[in-house]
Amino acid sequence: MASKTKIVNLTRMSKMFQPLTTNESFDSGEKTEVTSKSHKLMINYGIIKPVSIGMYAILPLGMRILNKLIDIVDKEMANIGAEKILLPALTPTKLWKKTDRYESNKTELFTVTDRHKKEYILSPTHEEAICDLISSAGQTVHIPTKLLPFKLYQISSKWRDEMKPRLGLLRSREFIMKDLYTFDTSLDNAQQTYDLVCESYNNIFRQIGIKYTKSDMGTIGGLISHEYHYISDIGEDTILQCPSCQFSINQSISETKNCPKCKNELQSYTVAEVGHTFLLDTKYSKPLKALFIEQNKPTPMVMGCFGLGLTRIIMLAVEILSTNNEIRWPIKLAPYTVCIIPPKTGSKEESTTVYVEQLFEIFYKRNIDAILDDRTNYTIGKRLVFARALGYPYIIVIGKAATQSIPLFEIHDVNNSTYRELSLDQMSNYFDNISFKD
């Protein structure tokens, strides 16, 4: 009885909200131009849906992908002692004026005015807001040296009034970003924190599993700055990289043609930014009075800020890994790791549906997420094509071989383009030998 209860609670494809489309443009009051493979695939297969220019609804499958990425980030942030918070979406305009950022950025800012005529910004980033938070805490209780460093991060929607939104989630008006802000007592300590966070970012990108680059941005935005990129034709940046030591630098800040370490000729790549790190010093903490007490004297904290574009990472994963007609996911981001396809209703193999429960038991015990394509009015072939298009890494088909005295099940390793037939015992061993976690 216990296992039958589990089967009732399985995720079934027939119950999923997944609006599909095959149009080249999508009408949601305004036209959305489809300009990249990833944009087309994610809309066609119900991962996202445009709701207005540069604005997208993230649908149930998309939320599963996003939440898996957030889980990776949260665990890495916990490993370095960062604490998660959530700041208001609205930041008072007066804070941006104190740091002299308002006038130079106001054409790209969404602003709102409340009933009391106070103006706010729909925040694209939160340096001012976090400094104001630290400042207000310091006014209540003086912050001593021993409490630092603070490492505070959030994952939330950010906004930018793009003149020409394009490439789906890559250049949208609303996007989801993880932003971390660190506060130290000195530049030396802040540099140690900076290096710690950069290594944590390396761990995040290594877990995702797509080749990335970390490029020197010199002193843009602070004392030290680096960008994380994926190499992609739809990117808007160019980096120069050494083929030997992987030294990378953004072309916009360098005219050099040779690696400063190896002297090799640097190679040029088109890339898309997915993360950015800055050592800011006291650029924001000083004007906004984010202070700590050192020898009975209020002293500005030394800041770092670190961003990851989560919706950008998802979009570029699709762009880099997928074919023109089929999505491919890194195994740790796939909406479901396994898709099980039972026989068609009325077919000779229909009796083998009884094995669905035993297959799900294999995955349940191993904490592997699986979905059942229970739309048994369709043929196995049609559902297999659809499951491949969605990019589920493993597809298990209960077909003709399951009617044998020792039932066998087709297992399709989609990412590696392999296929085999396994018994239930062999299936258990197969998934025991696959590493889904670091």
pLDDT at residue 30, as a whole number: 46
> pTM of whole model > 0.85?
yes
CA-CA distances (angstroms) from residue 160 to 108, 109, 410?
Answer: 6, 6, 47
User: Kind and range of the H or E element at 276?
Assistant: strand 267-281
Residue 222 has a pLDDT of 60
pLDDT of residue 206: 97
Q: Delineate the domains of the chain, giving CATH numbers in brackets.
A: 2-15+336-432 (3.40.50.800), 34-321 (3.30.930.10)
Measure the CA–CA gap between 316 and 322, rounded to whole angstroms: 10
pLDDT for 28: 43
Rounded Cα distance, 232 and 167, in Å: 12
The whole-angstrom separation of Cα 210 and Cα 186 is 35
Which pLDDT value is given to residue 6?
47
Helix H or strand E segment including 27? strand 25-27
d(CA 341, CA 384): 7
The count of other CB atoms within 10 Å of the CB of residue 5 is 8
Res 260: pLDDT:
87
* Chain mean position to CA 316: 9
Tens-place pLDDT, residues 112-151: 999 999 999 999 999 999 999 999 987 766 788 888 999 9
CB 134 within 8 A of CB 301: yes
| Close Cβ partners of 18 (under 8 Å, ≥ 6 residues apart) | 45, 46, 59, 60, 61
The Cα–Cα gap between 73 and 308 comes to 9
- Provide the 10 A C-beta neighbour count for residue 378: 15
Q: What is the DSSP letter of 417?
A: T
Give the tens place of pLDDT for each residue, 297-333.
999 999 999 999 999 999 999 999 999 999 999 999 9
In this predicted structure, what is the pLDDT of residue 2? Answer: 41
Token pair 């088109």 is found at 270
Pairing status of strand 302-309 against strand 174-184: antiparallel
Q: Is the dihedral of CA 45, 46, 51, 56 positive or negative?
A: negative
> What's the pLDDT score for residue 24?
43
Mean pLDDT by 10 residues, the chain (438 residues): 50 93 50 78 96 95 98 98 98 97 94 97 97 87 86 98 92 97 96 97 97 83 86 94 90 86 92 96 95 90 97 98 97 98 95 95 94 96 97 97 96 96 96 75
Nearest to 291, CA basis, from 136, 128, 151, 152:
136
The reported pLDDT for the residue numbered 31 is: 54
